[in-house]
Amino acid sequence: MSHQRLYTEYRNYSNYKHMANASGDQEILQYIKIIKKFTPLPKKVDVLRKRTVETEEEASITVTNDHRAKGLEWDIVEINNDFPNNLFDPNMDKTAFRDEVNLMYVSATRAKKTLIINKLLVNILAKADENEKTAQA
């Protein structure tokens, strides 16, 4: 979302949060979670700016999102807990579900050597194991 659109559509942060909660937009809700977690944000941004390097080769850690990670690989990948918690909700929109699962697949296939999975993937793997055991019984 462009900054100009954000400023014209939402008069303030409270209005933005209200819209996000009312719409259930997972991406915007995730932004709100991040802002809440990292407040006071200006100090955190200053720290990040001081630690930023010009090229990825200079970095000891690369922070990216699933979309930008497509086609790339790293020795170690840690998947953050930023996927929607409602993936097990039977009422979730099928297209949104498929998109989230595809992004999760992209994330999980970026590691060359070590993959550190998030809570959601732990739950998915446990559920798959449970379903497999039920099917074998």
pLDDT top residue among 53 and 83 = 53
Residue 125 pLDDT > 90: no
The region of weakest confidence among 4-18, 27-41, 99-113 is 4-18
Residue 53 pLDDT > 80: yes
pTM across the whole model:
0.61
CB 79 within 8 A of CB 121: yes
Strand residues in the chain grouped as ranges (E): 74-78, 111-116
Supply the pLDDT for residue 73. Answer: 96
Q: How far apart are the first and last CA of the chain?
A: 50
Residue 90 pLDDT > 60: yes
